[in-house]
Every structure is written in structure tokens, then in C-alpha cells.
Chains A and B, each alone.
Chain A
Amino acid sequence: MSGLSTAAQEAIDAIEAGPQGPEVGAFFDLDGTLVAGYTAATFYGDRLKGRDVSPAEFLRTVVTAVDGELGGDPTRIAHVAFSAMRGQSEEAFADLGERLFRSKIAGTIRRESRALVMAHQRAGHTVAVASAATKYQIAPVARDLGVEHLVCTQLVVEDGQFTGATDGPMLWGRHKASGVRAFAREHGIDLAESYAYGNGYEDVAFLSSVGHPTALNPHRDLRAAAARLGWPVLDLSDPVGGSLVAAGRTAAALAGMNAGVGLGLAYGLARGDLREGRNAAIRLATQLPMTLAGVSLEVLNQERLWTHRPAIFVANHQSALDIPVLGRLLERDFTIVAKKEARWDPRAVVGSFVIDPAWIDRSDSESARATLDGVVDRIRSGTSLMIFPEGTRSATPVLGPFRKGAFHLAAQAGVPVVPIVLRNTGELMRRSSLVLNPGVVDVCVLEPETDWSVDDMSERIAALRTKFEETLARWPA
């Protein structure tokens, strides 16, 4: 399964069937369209938490917001926010944007919106984010989506500080539309063939400037207008948020994991076979909690998990959920290489005792090498190794660069590499979240690759990474 709704898949099919090339534009609104919710609210929430907001400003913001809802000028609230930014350093604000992206906003990017963006990119279209937000909100999202162009509200910066004014109008309503038309003129884009996606009632003018408008998860009034104007409406699923029930199930899962480990070890001790005890513990410690949390697996090419053992299993990494998922997939006779800092992570401490990872101290390359030599011996004696070649969890499904360590080990130990693509663990358990949401994890095991050597290693790694990307972009049926 592609993991996309029928409507989203049809929209993508239509993009693929339509005209291709850079003279076709694809304009995406940010808030409510690419991401669920409002990035500005995230920024404001952060300021509230930091007690940066005076009671007077807070009151003004609330009154302005309510007035905007009741037919007043809805852009005034933004100007209240902009003027509160006077004197702030642009650099610090851009850093804040990056930080909030990683901790909060990255997790709100809609998976199917991302798929739409990628479909336009594959068609060679000129893709742009068109939003009334500022570039500090948009740029990290755009970068993550591989979108180069921003059509957005510009803030005036003098001597590295905001003046509180905007350069030109706020790109809201008619101004966003004229911003898009100006962008089209500059870039030689044929608007009649172009696409636009928006969700707000103020987006009608923006949407009407292209030949293929789509109301995406539209606001009530835009939905009514779209029905009258005969525009397609696309309802995409939102990233799952942590519900109370999900939190409860996560707690049960953690307890289940620890219980599983204890039971497995007890079983091993009773049988007098530590290895079997460990394997039993892995089985129990992964199956029990995932069942409790309501997570199941849908695995393509499952047989490849068994044909090449011992092997080095490499997988992409988005979520703390990846480890129990892989544990359940590999089931027995494997271990992991983990950074030393993770040794005392409460979520991993019991499990790590069971699978006995090779702890690596990345700050000390001498000891790291010694550890890895030990690992090669363990592999040769039949224990497979699981490694995340990205080294760290990505905030979004976008792949990070692959490090070489895993592949050096494969070359040294003379074992194959088995690539495992995990599609949506990040959606079920966000990067920074402690809550696991119920759902189905899509897994695809790629063709195992043998005969690794140092000579062509870089090229083969790059090729493998491309395979990961392609699999993520077009999930095999």
C-alpha cells in the first residue's frame, strides 16, 4: 500500500498526467496546508512560556484575535506581533525558528502534503511556499521539503534587528495573490497551467490566480466557496497527535516491555541458556508492548530478514519506535551499536541490558575503533548487527546523510548489508515525543547487498541511499 488516501493518490496521478516542466508552478500555503495548525501559534506559545509577553500585549493580542474572528481586520493581529518584535535580533529569531521546527513544527507536516510537493518536484514544476507567514517560520519547512522558493511577508531588519515593520504588505488575501502573480512573471510561469493549494477563506484570490486551484483541508467558508466555484477539495489526514488514551497505552507498553524482558531472562535462567533467554526476552519485550500500544507491522519482503544472516541491518531512523520495531523484525540473535550517551536512557535501559549493545564513545576514536573490532568478532560468531546509518533520528521523513561505519563493518566482517526502510514510525511516535500512537508501521526490506569493500564503498552507499529515498517516495505496492 502507498499509505496515501485515494483522493490524494488521484491528485498525484493528475499531476503526473499533466504538463511537466518549470513553467508550471505549484504554490503551497503553509499554515493549515503544508502543516497542520498555525506555526505562528507555536512561536507565540514559545514566547508565552518564556514569559516574554507582557499582560498588556497578551490582552491586545487576544482582543485583536477575537475582533478578527468577528469581522474585523484579521491581519491586525500579525501587526501586533510584528511590532512586539521590534529590537529583537534577526539571527536569534531565525535560530528560534530552527529550534521550534525540530521540536514542534516538523511533526506537524502532513504526510500527504509532502507527497503532493514531491509529485510536483518529480514533474519538474517550480514549487514555492506562498504564505503570509515570515521566512523564519517557513524556511525550515521549505528546506525539509526541498522547496527553494518562498513568497512571503518580509520583515524590515536594520543592523541585525527587527524594526517591527513589514517590507511591503503582509502577504495575506489579495496581497498573497499579487505576490504569486509577480513571482510567476519573474520566473516565466504559466499560471493557467499552474497549481495552488490553500486552506483559509482568505486564500480565494490566491487560489483563483492559477488554473488548477485546490482547497486543501479548507476552512468552513472556503469549503462553501469551493463548492460554489467548482474547485476540488482535498481532505488530507493530519499527523496523529498524542491522545490521553495513547499516553496510557504507551505507559502500559513500557511496563510490558520491562515485564517481557524480565520474563525472558527468567526463562533463560531457568533453562540455563542465556542466549535463548535473551532471544525470548527480545520477543516478549517487543511484541508485548507493541500489542499493548496498538501498533502492528506490515512488512514487504519479510523473507529477506532471514536469508542472509548474520548480516548488518541498516534502517532509516525517525523515532524511538524504530528500535522496538526492528527488534520485533529481527527477532533473535542480533545486537546494536549505540552511542554511549544513550546508555542511561530510561526507555532503553532494560532492553539494552538484554541485547547487550556495543557501546561506542564517539568522542574517543581510539576506544571506538577497539569497540568495533570486538563487534566484528561478534558478527563472525553469528550475531547480526542493527545500525542506523544516519547516526541520529531525523525530525521528518527526509533522509539524512549515511555514515560509513556500518558498511566498513560489513566489509571487515565479510557479511551482507540488509537494508530496511521504515515509512511512518515518525508519525506514530514523533521525534521528541514520549507518546506512542496506535497504527500500522509500513516496513519494506530491500534486496540484501553483499561483497562490500572499501574501493567502491562511497558510490554504493550513495546508491543505497537513493534506493531508500525512492522507496520512501513511491512505496512499493
Chain B
Amino acid sequence: MSDSSPVDDDLQRWGGAGTWSTGAELTSMQTLLWRAERHPVQSSTSTVVIDLDRAPDWDRFVAAAEWGTRLVRRLRQRVVEPVVPTAAPTWADDPTFDLAYHLRRERVADREEMLEHAAQIALRPFDRTRPLWEGVLFEGMPDGAAYVLKIHHALADPLGTVQLLTMLQSGRRAHTPRKPVAEDVVAPSEPDPVELAVAGLRTDVAALPEAALAAARRVGAAAARPQAVVASTLRYGASVRRLLTQAAPPSPELSPRTGRMWSFLTLDAPLDALREVARLGGGTLDDAAVALVLGALQRYHARHDVTVAEIPVGVRVSLDRADDLGNRFAGAIISAPLSIDDPVDRVAAVRGEVLSLHTERALEVLDAAAPVINRMPSFVGASALRTAAAPDAFVLTLPGPPRRRYMAGAEVQGIYVLGPLPGAALTVCLVTCGDTACIGVNVDASAVADLRGLEECLAEGVEEMVAAGEVRGP
């Protein structure tokens, strides 16, 4: 093998995991989601289902978790809020951390039952005074086992969750002795909520003269060229208005949404075929994922004799580059076509919609507003998030491990991310896992009357994409 050995590869990755997410404060966006959370209707919890080829040895599994939580400090930390929101919440080591509280195992008869349990676990709110994760190993299934990990957005967004898991998993089945552990940092003294608030206020007051000066300068500049300022403000406002109002109206077939009944579905698709359809339509894998979901929903609507031309779909747009890479992302809603039969044409249409968002100067509006909203009582943030119109579906693509991975001796056969449902009827996450696209679908069971039907439509949607990728492919 010309590749570096799995062990070296592992050690390098694990070294990286030790430095993963070590900032002391929550970012403004994390803060917004943390303070505005109203679980499960306005939830920020993602659940990951990991299919394993066999049940791992429980003691080894616990030992691995013990090691992982020592390596990634964040997994043993909790969020401490200031008494008044003058500062961002802070991460602090949980002195009462007990692995047994966060990790347990259950027995189920089959995979379907496991998914039902996983949905129930996801629906239960976190104890917000403890580290924000919970893992359950499901055993007793005829073909292998499953590890279900529930994680709060403040700890890791879906992208970060998959990244973290990918980092912590092993490249080989055998145990690796002498794994790296994090350097023993002297735990910072437990921050006091009142102290945090006072410190935040003090920073604000200290920054006040400077802020006032900057504001005065801005007002001066604006006064010097009022026309330009008015024009640019109007353009920004117009952009905000377009982003908030110009998406298609929600489909009547996908209501009423309560957000209180979650149902998990998983599907697999060959990644090569999806990439080929994406290429033919001039789009990316993200566009193909949206096109797949649209194909399924188009069938679902047809089954119920409902014709809808477009539905609002939430997507993630890179703020840096067009090829969906980069570090800065914004969520936005597109009007996605529900009337295009050809999968390739559908990808092209989705591509056009997504790229069109790049003309909107207000794409970052929520990011820009988050620091201000965070200084206000939490219901302000909660309603700010609510006014951001909810799409019918969220679709997200996440890069998973490129190669085979193991957890405590059990081979990972699929990683499915089941995202939250902030107002949407379904949230679809596609994780690339080796040569397979692992598709996790969280469905609001109150909005989708015919859950079996939707599952069949999703399967047909996958088939249709694969066929299009194979027929026209090389």
C-alpha cells in the first residue's frame, strides 16, 4: 500500500481532534441558537445514527468514549450563562462529569425499532447544565449494531459533528495502544454567572467611547454623502425583503406542522451516480441532493393528486466560493421546482436558484444581526429565528470519512445525520461515506400524512437519480 498506514493516519487525525473547538466562548451564531432554543419545535439538536457491522465489546467501547472525551475537552464541558445577556455564554469544565450519564446501551429487535428509539431520544430535551451530548449503543439487531449520538448545535453543528466523529473513529479494527491524550490543562476556575455578566458589561463600557466615536464617524460619513447611504440602505433592505418574501409559499400537502413528532428514515445511494447527475446538470453534489429530495416530493405530491409548481427549500450557501467549499456559510431559502421530470434538468434548475442567491447582499443578515439580537432577552432571538420563513424541507450535504472506519473494533457501515426540524416538514442530510451517500431524513410526522408513501417516494427518487447518472454517464 502506498498510502500512509492507517495507524499513522489515525494518530495524526487524533492529534487534530485534541485541538478541536477550544474557544472559551460561544460564537454569536451559537449563542443565538442556544438562547433561542425551544426544543423540540425550535430545536438545535442533531442526531447521528452510525450503523456498525457487529456489536462492539462494551468495555472497549466505554474505554474508547472515556479516551475520546478526554481528548476532546468540549465533550466534558458545559455552558455557563451570565445572569443577564451582556456577554456570550462560556464553556467551562463540568466538575461533576460522569460518562455513565451520557453513554448507555439498549437492546432492540431490529433496525426499525432502533430508529424509533433514536427519534424518541432526539425529542427529549438536554439537561442544559451538563455537557451537551448523549450516546446510546443499540445491540440485539440481527445484522450488527448501531450507535446513536445526540449532540447540541452549540457543541457542534451537523458539519462539525460528522467531522468530530470522523476524527475520533479508527482506521483499523484492532485496538491502538498509547493513543494521544490531551495535555492536562489546568481547568479554569468555574466561572460565576454574575461575574460573567459584570465582565461582559465592563468590556462593553470600556468599549463605549470607541464605539461612540466609530458611530459618530459613520454618521459623519453618512451626512457627507446622504444619497449613497440612503441608496445602499434601500438596496440592503430590498435584498432582505427578497430573501424573506420571495420564496415559494409552503405546500399545503406538507401541513400541519407541529414539530413535535419526529420520524427518522435512512436511505443509501451510490455516490458516483449522484456525482455524475450533478456533473451533467452543471451542479454540485449539494444540488443533486436537493434535486433528489425534490424528485421524491414531486412523486409524493403526485400520489396525493396535488400539483405544486415550487416549494421553499432551505439550503446552505457558501459565502466564500461557488463550489460549496469554504468556511463561511449562510442558510437561505430557494424556490425549488416541483414540476421538472428530468433529474439532470432539475439539478440545473436548483443550481441556478442557489447561485442566484449570490446577488443578495443581505445573505449574511442573520450572521450580522446575531451579536445585536444576543444582547436582548432570549425571546427576541427566538422570534427572530421564527420570522425567518420556514421552508418545506432543509437539505444539507456533509463530507464524511473517505475510507472505511471502525469504532472499538466494529466496522462503520453508514453514518446518517438526522437534523432538527425548525419549522420544516423534513430535514434531509446527505453524508458522503466512502463510495456511498448516506441519506438521513427527519420527518415531521404530523405534516406528512402518508409516511410509508414518502419513504417509497424517497426510494424512487434515489433510483431515478441513479438511473439518470448511469444512463448518460460514461
Give me the interface of A with B, judged by CB distance under 8 Å: 69-73, 173-174, 177-178, 181, 185, 191-192, 201-202, 204-206, 208-211, 220-222, 224-225, 228-230
Chain A nearest CB, measured from B86 CB (Å):
34
Pick from A72, A201, A230: contact of B359, CB below 8 A.
A201
Against A, the Cβ 8 Å flags (1 = close, 0 = not) of B348-375 are 1101110110111100000000000000
Give me the interface of B with A, judged by CB distance under 8 Å: 234-235, 237-242, 245-246, 282, 320-322, 335, 337, 340, 345, 348-349, 351-353, 355-356, 358-361
Instruction: Check A70–B322 contact: CB distance below 8 A.
Output: no
Cross-chain pair count, CB within 8 angstroms: 82
Instruction: Check B352–A71 contact: CB distance below 8 A.
Output: no
Instruction: Check B322–A209 contact: CB distance below 8 A.
Output: no
Please, which residues of chain B bring their CB within 8 A of the CB of A224?
358-359, 361
Assuming the A-B contacts A181-B345, A209-B282, A230-B322, are A225 and B353 also in contact, with contact meaning beta carbons closer than 8 angstroms in the complex?
A: no
Instruction: Check A173–B361 contact: CB distance below 8 A.
Output: no
Assuming the A-B contacts A70-B241, A204-B352, A204-B358, are A192 and B234 also in contact, with contact meaning beta carbons closer than 8 angstroms in the complex?
A: no
CA distance A225 to B241 in the complex (A): 18
Please, which residues of chain A bring their CB within 8 A of the CB of B246?
71, 73
Chain A nearest CB, measured from B411 CB (Å):
39
Please, which residues of chain A bring their CB within 8 A of the CB of B340?
178
Chain B nearest CB, measured from A69 CB (Å):
7
Instruction: Check B237–A70 contact: CB distance below 8 A.
Output: yes
Chain A nearest CB, measured from B39 CB (Å):
33
CA distance A310 to B282 in the complex (A): 63
Q: Report whether over half of chain A's contact residues are helix, strand or loop; otherwise say mixed.
A: helix
Instruction: Check B322–A228 contact: CB distance below 8 A.
Output: yes
Please, which residues of chain A bring their CB within 8 A of the CB of B359?
201, 204, 221-222, 224-225
CA distance A230 to B351 in the complex (A): 15
Q: Which residue of chain B has its CB nearest to the CB of A185?
A: B345
Instruction: Check A191–B282 contact: CB distance below 8 A.
Output: yes
Instruction: Check B322–A71 contact: CB distance below 8 A.
Output: no
CA distance A201 to B363 in the complex (A): 14
CA distance A221 to B337 in the complex (A): 24
Chain B nearest CB, measured from A79 CB (Å):
16
Chain B nearest CB, measured from A225 CB (Å):
4
Instruction: Check B361–A206 contact: CB distance below 8 A.
Output: no
Instruction: Check A177–B349 contact: CB distance below 8 A.
Output: yes
Assuming the A-B contacts A181-B345, A181-B348, A221-B361, are A70 and B238 also in contact, with contact meaning beta carbons closer than 8 angstroms in the complex?
A: yes
Please, which residues of chain B bring their CB within 8 A of the CB of A230?
321-322
CA distance A208 to B357 in the complex (A): 12
Which 7 pairs between the two chains have the least Cβ-Cβ distance?
A: A205-B352, A71-B241, A71-B238, A225-B358, A221-B359, A201-B359, A229-B322
Q: Which residue of chain B has its CB nearest to the CB of A226?
A: B358
Instruction: Check A72–B355 contact: CB distance below 8 A.
Output: no
Instruction: Check A209–B348 contact: CB distance below 8 A.
Output: yes
Q: Which residue of chain A has its CB nearest to the CB of B356?
A: A204
CA distance A177 to B352 in the complex (A): 8
Assuming the A-B contacts A71-B245, A224-B359, A228-B322, are A208 and B351 also in contact, with contact meaning beta carbons closer than 8 angstroms in the complex?
A: yes
Please, which residues of chain B bring their CB within 8 A of the CB of A206?
352
Q: Which residue of chain B has its CB nearest to the CB of A209?
A: B348
Instruction: Check A208–B352 contact: CB distance below 8 A.
Output: yes
Please, which residues of chain B bring their CB within 8 A of the CB of A228?
320-322, 358
Instruction: Check A229–B282 contact: CB distance below 8 A.
Output: no
Known contacts A71-B239, A228-B358; 7 additional CB pairs below 8 A are A181-B345, A204-B356, A205-B351, A208-B282, A221-B360, A229-B322, A229-B358
Instruction: Check A211–B282 contact: CB distance below 8 A.
Output: yes
13 contacts between A and B (CB under 8 A): A72-B241, A181-B345, A181-B348, A181-B349, A192-B282, A205-B349, A205-B351, A209-B348, A209-B351, A224-B359, A225-B355, A225-B359, A228-B358
Among A70, A210, A230, max chain B CB count under 10 A is at A70
Q: Which residue of chain A has its CB nearest to the CB of B344?
A: A181
Please, which residues of chain A bring their CB within 8 A of the CB of B241?
70-72
Chain B nearest CB, measured from A264 CB (Å):
53
CA distance A70 to B353 in the complex (A): 20
CA distance A365 to B348 in the complex (A): 63
Instruction: Check A71–B355 contact: CB distance below 8 A.
Output: no
Chain A nearest CB, measured from B32 CB (Å):
24
Chain A nearest CB, measured from B124 CB (Å):
41
Please, which residues of chain B bring their CB within 8 A of the CB of A205?
349, 351-353, 355-356
Chain A nearest CB, measured from B97 CB (Å):
44
Among B320, B322, B359, B360, max chain A CB count under 10 A is at B359
Please, which residues of chain A bring their CB within 8 A of the CB of B240?
71
Chain A nearest CB, measured from B452 CB (Å):
33
Please, which residues of chain A bring their CB within 8 A of the CB of B360?
221
CA distance A208 to B356 in the complex (A): 9
CA distance A204 to B348 in the complex (A): 12
Please, which residues of chain B bring their CB within 8 A of the CB of A192?
282
CA distance A73 to B241 in the complex (A): 10
CA distance A462 to B88 in the complex (A): 81
CA distance A204 to B237 in the complex (A): 20
Please, which residues of chain A bring their CB within 8 A of the CB of B335?
174
Q: Which residue of chain A has its CB nearest to the CB of B322?
A: A229
Please, which residues of chain A bring their CB within 8 A of the CB of B234?
69-70
Please, which residues of chain B bring their CB within 8 A of the CB of A204?
352, 355-356, 358-359
Please, which residues of chain B bring their CB within 8 A of the CB of A210?
282
Chain B nearest CB, measured from A384 CB (Å):
58
Instruction: Check A71–B349 contact: CB distance below 8 A.
Output: no
CA distance A177 to B320 in the complex (A): 24
Chain A nearest CB, measured from B288 CB (Å):
15
CA distance A201 to B355 in the complex (A): 11
Instruction: Check A71–B237 contact: CB distance below 8 A.
Output: yes
Q: Which residue of chain B has its CB nearest to the CB of A178?
A: B349
Please, which residues of chain B bring their CB within 8 A of the CB of A185?
345
CA distance A72 to B242 in the complex (A): 7
CA distance A209 to B280 in the complex (A): 11
Chain B nearest CB, measured from A223 CB (Å):
9
Q: Which residue of chain A has its CB nearest to the CB of B234?
A: A70
Chain A nearest CB, measured from B322 CB (Å):
4
Please, which residues of chain A bring their CB within 8 A of the CB of B320?
228
Chain B nearest CB, measured from A208 CB (Å):
5
Q: Which residue of chain B has its CB nearest to the CB of A201?
A: B359
Assuming the A-B contacts A173-B356, A205-B355, are A69 and B282 also in contact, with contact meaning beta carbons closer than 8 angstroms in the complex?
A: no
Instruction: Check B353–A174 contact: CB distance below 8 A.
Output: yes
Chain A nearest CB, measured from B249 CB (Å):
13
CA distance A177 to B235 in the complex (A): 24
CA distance A208 to B355 in the complex (A): 8
Chain A nearest CB, measured from B298 CB (Å):
15
Q: Which residue of chain A has its CB nearest to the CB of B239?
A: A71
Chain B nearest CB, measured from A446 CB (Å):
46
CA distance A303 to B241 in the complex (A): 65
Please, which residues of chain B bring their CB within 8 A of the CB of A69?
234, 238
Please, which residues of chain B bring their CB within 8 A of the CB of A191?
282, 348
Q: Which residue of chain B has its CB nearest to the CB of A219?
A: B359
Chain A nearest CB, measured from B272 CB (Å):
19
CA distance A209 to B281 in the complex (A): 8
Please, which residues of chain A bring their CB within 8 A of the CB of B352?
174, 177, 204-206, 208-209
Chain A nearest CB, measured from B328 CB (Å):
11
CA distance A220 to B321 in the complex (A): 18
CA distance A335 to B27 in the complex (A): 83
Please, which residues of chain B bring their CB within 8 A of the CB of A202?
356
CA distance A210 to B241 in the complex (A): 29
CA distance A205 to B238 in the complex (A): 19
Chain B nearest CB, measured from A220 CB (Å):
8
Chain B nearest CB, measured from A24 CB (Å):
15
Q: Which residue of chain B has its CB nearest to the CB of A230?
A: B322
CA distance A208 to B281 in the complex (A): 10
Q: Which residue of chain A has its CB nearest to the CB of B280?
A: A192
CA distance A284 to B167 in the complex (A): 86
Chain B nearest CB, measured from A232 CB (Å):
14
CA distance A201 to B345 in the complex (A): 22
Please, which residues of chain A bring their CB within 8 A of the CB of B355?
204-205, 208, 225, 229
Please, which residues of chain A bring their CB within 8 A of the CB of B245?
71
Among A71, A174, A177, A185, max chain B CB count under 10 A is at A71
